[in-house]
Amino acid sequence: MKFPGIYEELFYKALRIRLVEERIIELYPSDKIQSPVHLSIGQEAVAVGACQSLKQTDLLFCSYRSHAFYLAKGGHLREMFAELYGKATGCGHGKAGSMHLAAPEVGLMGSSAVVASTIPHAVGAALAAERLKKPQVIVAVFGDGATEEGAYHESLNFAALHKLPIVLLCENNGLAVHSKLEARQAYRITDQAKSYGLPVAYLADGHDVVKVHEVFSGIVGEVRRSRCPHFVEIRTCRYKEHVGPDEDSHAGYRSVEELQAWKSKDPLILNQELVAQYRPVILQEIDDAVEFAERSPWPERSELLSDVV
Amino acid sequence: MKFPGIYEELFYKALRIRLVEERIIELYPSDKIQSPVHLSIGQEAVAVGACQSLKQTDLLFCSYRSHAFYLAKGGHLREMFAELYGKATGCGHGKAGSMHLAAPEVGLMGSSAVVASTIPHAVGAALAAERLKKPQVIVAVFGDGATEEGAYHESLNFAALHKLPIVLLCENNGLAVHSKLEARQAYRITDQAKSYGLPVAYLADGHDVVKVHEVFSGIVGEVRRSRCPHFVEIRTCRYKEHVGPDEDSHAGYRSVEELQAWKSKDPLILNQELVAQYRPVILQEIDDAVEFAERSPWPERSELLSDVV
Amino acid sequence: MALIQARAATDPTLETEVVTYREALFRAMRDALARDPRVIIFGQGVDDHKGTFGSTLGLAQEFGAARVFDTPLAEEGMTGIAIGAALNGLYPIQTHIRSDFVLLAMNQIVNLAAKYKYMFGGRFEVPMLIRMVIGRSWGQGAQHSQSFQSLFAHVPGLTVIMPASAQSILECYPYVIGRHRGPVLAIEHRLMYDLKFRMDEVAEKANGSPLTSRKVRAGNDVTIVATSIMVLEAQRAAEHLARVGGIQCEIIDLNCVSHPDRSLIVESVGRTGKLLVADTSWQAYGVCAEICRIVCEHSPSALKAPVVTLGMQPAPCPTAKSLEDRYYPNLRDLTDAVATLVTGTDHHGIPLPDEHSMADVYKRFKGPF
Amino acid sequence: MALIQARAATDPTLETEVVTYREALFRAMRDALARDPRVIIFGQGVDDHKGTFGSTLGLAQEFGAARVFDTPLAEEGMTGIAIGAALNGLYPIQTHIRSDFVLLAMNQIVNLAAKYKYMFGGRFEVPMLIRMVIGRSWGQGAQHSQSFQSLFAHVPGLTVIMPASAQSILECYPYVIGRHRGPVLAIEHRLMYDLKFRMDEVAEKANGSPLTSRKVRAGNDVTIVATSIMVLEAQRAAEHLARVGGIQCEIIDLNCVSHPDRSLIVESVGRTGKLLVADTSWQAYGVCAEICRIVCEHSPSALKAPVVTLGMQPAPCPTAKSLEDRYYPNLRDLTDAVATLVTGTDHHGIPLPDEHSMADVYKRFKGPF
Ligand SMILES: Cc1ncc(C[n+]2csc(CCOP(=O)(O)OP(=O)(O)O)c2C)c(N)n1
Ligand SMILES: Cc1ncc(C[n+]2csc(CCOP(=O)(O)OP(=O)(O)O)c2C)c(N)n1
Ligand SMILES: [Mg+2]
Ligand SMILES: [Mg+2]
């Protein structure tokens, strides 16, 4: 597809993710997707802006909240829906579900449902890139909650100590399930990251997809050149409940005003003109992917015990 | 015992520890102490200075390198030697050995051979002090290497978040076994601790026992009053090999000059007058303790399976 | 008493109090807080509007944020903090919404909590309870479905319970919290939270420790030793086989995995000559293995047929429903296995039940996770 | 071949190459680095003047600090880093000077390494080796003495080996590093490092995978299944009993704890009718239990007597020598247990050997730890 400018391109990509998530919400009551879904709605711009400057050979590791990054990094939509449906044609052959999307062919190297557990993987991949002289940039994506885990500290220290070509990207949506930052963290994430000697960038508006892209592309360029680690924190907002297709702003664990404030700045809501323009083609692609998933076979019985060791 | 001043008192206590360690070195070839010993020689002043302002009801948690803290906190010398000998009268009834000294009656709440593992215990004890309104100060003692473990990060965050009455004391001897700081840490310990919002103190000279005491007593007073956590890093030097009774400065993993520089500032070496004055009475106490250990019985066979659950 | 109680899950019409697993947990938690001001409960989400699947709901409001509180994501650190808190006078109850995450705290549990008493010659005690939940169904997948009872039960110093009923919860938890002086791991099953159990009145009367195994059905044809939700599966299979095949299964709820009642098992197998073990985890190096050891060390000659074991398939848990359905033994498999074992032939001709295991429960489950 | 090799520890005078466990490890490490530039070795102290008890000594100098390097104290993080490195083309060898510390990395090992292949439908592989050392003697105590083979072997996706000879090391490690595509845990025993083993020439000829069990002594009176240093203890007991009591023990070195050779065990027990299992860890939920399961599921009727198991006493390890001596089964205990099992009476009258187990080895050991 051709776009008049970078804004439109990034907008398109973010909208595509949003519409995929909305289709999942639509489908969910049918029980065809029997998998806990951690939707990225509200956080699309982070993934799109971050991945824009990455090559397919650059590797990315993320968490269970990976739909946006899977798509932004170039994962196939058909294989994603098939995976959510538990079909043999899914990106994990039906063994992965929503929480473990991966697309090694485009550098999405895995996503894990254990918080913070892929951060060291990214560091290790960066170690391999450095030792094997691969010109890759490696990206670790994680939430604000992940920074509380011990493995996070160990990962940052090692990445900084060995000067590895990695971008550590914290998607700070201010929540871990229903807990606010204040209930969990005595530190500011970027300040703490600085203490390892990492250069840090902080972006207060995760909806500004062009800004995210610019900042990130600067950093990726820098890492590609200097082979040194960088840290980026981007504030963003998850619109839906932690896991599942619903809204839960009524539940009282977070302020409805804050949520509204984020929505009031959201280009995917504000720019209905562009939405109207791109929506049809995206919906077509989604229809096709869903149909692919519907049509696809279940995994063979033999799959149950294959690929274990 | 009466002392003309605080310097003499602290000197005496530090010398006592040194002489105990030296007796262990003497005894070691006899194979009567069948336990890996992590000697505190060179680091005595830290323990003595830190414990001087603590009450018996204040609790302290430390590592396998705990001889100095065991004695400084008030643990009985007889029970220590008996423990090293594996006797039933030892402070751990022969089940603990050198690495797990404890003296709950004076607030030494345990020492563990897994690096960093008692730091969260101290935080938890501080939580209990806070919740149960006990007027205690809790102290966590750990080495520089321990700060690399994930549990360290988790502990600092929680202590700071919940404003617990704890002093986090890092005995930085610049080494973890044979590894230098530079091979392990991308951060400066106090700077990193600051990122949790902890007030920090840094002492470059761990031989200056009066200074250690002054700084520490200020901090302990502050914690007792404010019930808020503090962090202290004290540079010090271990003279002997990591574990065992020998010198190993010839092994090449550290600079002999640096070791010499520390020794050249060591009051326990420099002030031979005071050494000569206090030595006899200390040696008498040590003789008595060793004799106690020698005379003591082995644990009963039934001890093997007691106190398991 | 145990025999009656056991029928609750299959026959909730009996005229005594009916309590869900969740309610039993909630009562145990609430009573603990009410009885002893030293009790605290912490874990991710204990104070939120879901309240650890309902088991701690509203307790933060009732007892205050100082006693029931959320934590950072820091399993190892928080377990260490629990140990330290116990050493200085609190009774900590730590919760994990999935047992899979407890692997992050293995060092504190195995190297510290399990050792603290022994290692210091009995001079310390660390009374504390760690609750963790086994996940299953709705695509929980490889990292949200594991049950690690054998990892803990291998280690002296730990007590491991797997309540298979509300009764077990209401007998064991108050005992653990109020009277037991060491670290206890309670492994709960997410899919039992909504199930109703008939409560037996004598629960409070029980003298001696409830931390042991319990016979929940008497029979002379085969001994089934089971854990957690597999006890309920076994009870269903047993009811069916009694009805259609005249087969009488004896069922032992292992309950306290670390301290099973060896003589109960050995006596039963001595009588039935046939043993089937059904566990929520993998067979190798698990409960299935340990029960075989108990029998082998005591009286292998009692076994009139090879032992049959059922557990998860030897693979990580897949997410696709079609695979997951085969990953766990279902009621048909279990019933067939028992019938084959008892009759000595797989041409036993005994009709098998229709549903796949407790399929209604498993299908109804759609979170919260 | 195996039979001859087995005698090395007891009879090092045989005229073939004699290699210590340490030398075998060193060779395996050096060869791995030399053969494949993607191999890296890291762990605390791998590059220091002690070189992981000699097994990596000088390799940092020879192959450079980029390939053999020290790490921060960060077991969980470093294991995750190993996984990531494997995913991007390196072959990481991670070392732990005590297996006790590996508990800190259980999450990465069990939730990630063991699952990475399956969970993503076979699209990734994580070839890597984690070496860890069991400690014993000289007051190692509760936290420096554990061996966790059963914790790992319980989990599908992991391969767990416990080499009991230099031969096993030189057969298994090159195979693991060069040809196996998944995560492997190698549990070494500190007290074997200095022992000499006779090498068999056919080591290289072995076709098929060496990652399985091996018969190291043939006999018809009793089957002994053992792991690690207990294989050597069993060999000593067997030599003694053959000499003074005319008893012929068959000894199976389990070797690959996660993938034992079931038929080897079942066939042997079928022939001898008697089974003794000797492991380096606790019996409950351990190797002793798993071997019982194998026999029970196959042919319990083969057992002509209750199974005897030997392992650590059900407690944490005490430090006092007087207690530690009783904590581990010694050669007398083992010999007596075998003689009792074979003769069917504890009045067997067979003279027991003098030394307490491999007392010379255990006594000689004074570190480095
Ligand atoms: C180690 C671990 N502990 C707890 C959980 C349960 N859990 C799942 S998601 C989550 C919150 C994580 O928050 P964050 O890292 O900010 O990511 P977000 O969901 O906001 O994207 C928690 C606590 C888990 N999956 N893993
Ligand atoms: C978790 C863990 N990893 C590794 C070890 C092995 N080890 C014992 S002491 C030590 C060095 C610790 O250094 P530091 O914390 O600075 O304490 P120091 O010995 O210098 O007092 C190491 C790596 C251990 N005991 N525990
Ligand atoms: Mg978040
Ligand atoms: Mg140090």
DSSP-derived secondary structure for D127-189: -EEEEEEE--STT--TTSS---HHHHHTSTT-EEE---SHHHHHHHHHHHHHT--SEEEEEEE
**CA-CA distances (angstroms) from residue C131 to B196, B298, C42, C43, C84?**
29, 39, 10, 9, 18
Residues counted in chain B? 309
Judged against a pLDDT cut of 60, whether residue D361 lies above it is answered with yes
- Closest ligand 2 atom to residue B142 Cα is 15
Distance A209 CA to ligand 4 centre (A): 46
pLDDT for A61-76, tens place per residue? Answer: 999 999 999 999 999 9
Q: Does A303 touch chain C (CB under 8 A)?
A: yes
**CA-CA distances (angstroms) from residue D16 to C340, D5, D12?**
54, 10, 9
H helix intervals, chain C: 2-6, 21-35, 59-63, 75-87, 106, 116-119, 149-153, 166-178, 229-245, 262-272, 287-298, 321-327, 331-343, 359-364
Q: Rounded to whole angstroms, how far apart are CA atoms A125 and B241?
A: 36
| Contact call for B93 and C121, based on CB within 8 A | yes
DSSP A103: B
pLDDT at D199: 86
Judged against a pLDDT cut of 50, whether residue D8 lies above it is answered with no
Which chains share 3+ C-beta pairs under 8 angstroms with D? A, B, C
pLDDT for B175-191, tens place per residue? Answer: 999 999 999 999 999 99
Domain boundaries, chain D: 4-8+15-198, 214-362
- Is there a contact between D273 and D304 (Cβ–Cβ < 8 Å)? yes
Which residues from D are below 8 Å from B116, CB to CB?
Answer: 73
Distance D209 CA to ligand 1 centre (A): 40
Other beta carbons within 10 Å of A30 = 7
Which residue type does B164 have? L
pLDDT at C306: 98
What is the rounded average pLDDT for all residues in chain B?
98
Residue of B121, B138, B142, B168 to mutate, interface with C, max C Cβ within 10 Å: B121
Which of B148, B187, B197 lies at the smallest CB-CB distance from A195? Answer: B187
Distance D73 CA to ligand 2 centre (A): 7
Which residue type does D203 have? A
| Contact call for B124 and C83, based on CB within 8 A | yes
Question: Among C253, C250, C212, which residue's Cα sits nearest to residue C231?
Answer: C253
Q: Rounded to whole angstroms, how far apart are CA atoms D184 and D201?
A: 25
Judged against a pLDDT cut of 90, whether residue A291 lies above it is answered with yes
Give φ, ψ of D80 to 5 degrees. Answer: -60, -40
**Chain A: residue whose CA lies nearest to B186:** A161
Which residues from B are below 8 Å from D74, CB to CB?
Answer: 148-150
| Contact call for B157 and A195, based on CB within 8 A | no
- Average pLDDT, stretch A149-162? 98
Which of A154, A194, A196 lies at the smallest CB-CB distance from B150? Answer: A154
Question: Domain D214-362, what architecture?
Answer: 3-Layer(aba) Sandwich (3.40)
Ligand 1 pocket member A114 (CB < 6 A): yes
Distance B175 CA to ligand 4 centre (A): 4
pLDDT at A286: 98
DSSP β-ladder status, C18-20 and C196-198: antiparallel
pLDDT for B195-233, tens place per residue? Answer: 999 999 999 999 999 999 999 999 999 999 999 999 999
What is the best residue among B38, B67, B99, B115 to mutate for testing ligand 2's pocket, by most ligand atoms within 8 Å of CB?
A: B115
Give φ, ψ of B51 to 5 degrees. Answer: -80, -15
Which residues from B are below 8 Å from A186, CB to CB?
Answer: 156-158, 160-161, 196-197
Which of C44, C320, C323 lies at the smallest CB-CB distance from A177? Answer: C44
Residue of C119, C152, C154, C257 to mutate, interface with B, max B Cβ within 10 Å: C119
Q: Rounded to whole angstroms, how far apart are CA atoms C287 and C293?
A: 10
**CA-CA distances (angstroms) from residue A166 to A172, A219, D91, D167, D290?**
18, 10, 20, 42, 44
Tokens, residue D6: 């087995």
- Closest ligand 1 atom to residue C104 Cα is 1
Q: Rounded to whole angstroms, how far apart are CA atoms D367 and B248?
A: 15
Which residues from D are below 8 Å from C305, CB to CB?
Answer: 300
- Is there a contact between A147 and A189 (Cβ–Cβ < 8 Å)? yes
- Is there a contact between D151 and C348 (Cβ–Cβ < 8 Å)? no
List of E strands, A7-71 = 59-63
Other beta carbons within 10 Å of A280 = 9
Q: CATH topology of C4-8+15-198 equal to that of C214-362?
A: yes
- Nearest CA to CA, how far is D249 from chain C (Å)? 19
Q: Does B210 touch chain A (CB under 8 A)?
A: no
**Chain B: residue whose CA lies nearest to D44:** B179
pLDDT at D4: 37
Omega prior to B267 cis, within 30 of 0: no
CATH number of A6-237+247-297: 3.40.50.970
- Nearest CA to CA, how far is C254 from chain D (Å)? 14
Q: Rounded to whole angstroms, how far apart are CA atoms A96 and D344?
A: 54
Domain boundaries, chain B: 6-237+247-297
Q: Rounded to whole angstroms, how far apart are CA atoms C50 and C57?
A: 6
pLDDT at C203: 46
pLDDT at C3: 37
Of A127-131, B73-77, B99-103, C360-364, the least confident: C360-364
Proportion of chain D above pLDDT 90, given as a percent: 88
Other beta carbons within 10 Å of A133 = 8
Which of A110, A161, A309 lies at the smallest CB-CB distance from D120? Answer: A110
pLDDT at C207: 64
pLDDT at C369: 85
Residues 6+ apart with CB under 8 A from B91: B70, B75, B76, B79, B80, B82, B83, B101, B102, B103, C120, C121, C123
- Average pLDDT, stretch A274-281? 98
Of A114-128, C325-339, D348-362, the least confident: D348-362
pLDDT at D367: 84
| Contact call for D138 and B94, based on CB within 8 A | no
DSSP β-ladder status, D222-226 and D275-282: parallel
Q: Rounded to whole angstroms, how far apart are CA atoms B20 and B101?
A: 15
Other beta carbons within 10 Å of A174 = 18
Tokens, residue C279: 């566990």
Residues D15, D49, D62, D75: which is the catalytic one? D75
Tokens, residue B287: 């003789």
- D98-D281-D53 Cα angle (round to 5): 25
pLDDT at C224: 98
**CA-CA distances (angstroms) from residue A92 to A89, B298, C173?**
8, 60, 41
Residues of C with CB under 8 A from a CB of A: 44-45, 48-50, 70-77, 100-101, 104, 138-144, 313-316, 318-323, 326-327, 366-369
| Contact call for B186 and A160, based on CB within 8 A | yes
Q: Is D75 a catalytic residue?
A: yes
What is the rounded average pLDDT for all residues in chain D?
93
- Is there a contact between B28 and B36 (Cβ–Cβ < 8 Å)? no
Other beta carbons within 10 Å of B54 = 24
Which residues from A are below 8 Å from D182, CB to CB?
Answer: 309
CB neighbour class for C101 (10 Å; exposed up to 12, middle 13-18, buried from 19): buried
Per-residue buried b or exposed e for D178-205, using 16+ beta carbons within 10 Å of the residue's own CB? eebebbbbbbbbbbbbebebbbbeebee
Q: Does D120 touch chain C (CB under 8 A)?
A: no
Distance C190 CA to ligand 1 centre (A): 18
Ligand 1 pocket member A234 (CB < 6 A): no
Ligand 1 pocket member A175 (CB < 6 A): yes
Atom 13 (ligand 1): residue with closest C-alpha? A176
- Is there a contact between A107 and A57 (Cβ–Cβ < 8 Å)? yes
Give φ, ψ of C186 to 5 degrees. Answer: -110, 120
Which residues from A are below 8 Å from C141, CB to CB?
Answer: 35, 95-97, 99-100, 113
Question: Among D364, D70, D326, which residue's Cα sits nearest to residue D193?
Answer: D364
Residues counted in chain D? 369
- Closest ligand 2 atom to residue D104 Cα is 1
Which of A102, A128, A309 lies at the smallest CB-CB distance from D89? Answer: A128
Q: Look-up: residue for tokens 């082979």?
A: A227
Q: Does C316 touch chain D (CB under 8 A)?
A: yes
- Is there a contact between D278 and D310 (Cβ–Cβ < 8 Å)? yes
CATH class of D4-8+15-198: alpha beta
CB neighbour class for B4 (10 Å; exposed up to 12, middle 13-18, buried from 19): exposed
Q: Which residues of chain C have pLDDT under 70?
A: 1-15, 201-207, 356-357
pLDDT for D83-136, tens place per residue? Answer: 999 999 999 999 999 999 999 999 999 999 999 999 999 999 999 999 999 999
Tokens, residue B97: 């050995």
**C243 HSE (CA, 13 A, CB side):** 10
pLDDT at C201: 54
- Nearest CA to CA, how far is A309 from chain D (Å)? 5
Residue of D319, D328, D369 to mutate, interface with B, max B Cβ within 10 Å: D319
List of E strands, A33-156 = 59-63, 108-112, 138-143
**CA-CA distances (angstroms) from residue A242 to A173, A195, A207, A261, C56?**
11, 30, 19, 19, 19
Which of A113, A184, A243 lies at the smallest CB-CB distance from C72? Answer: A184
| Contact call for D322 and B178, based on CB within 8 A | no
pLDDT for B240-268, tens place per residue? Answer: 999 999 999 899 999 999 999 999 999 99
Q: Give me the residues paired with residue C324 across strands.
A: none
Residues 6+ apart with CB under 8 A from D58: D51
Which residues from B are below 8 Å from A196, CB to CB?
Answer: 186-187, 192
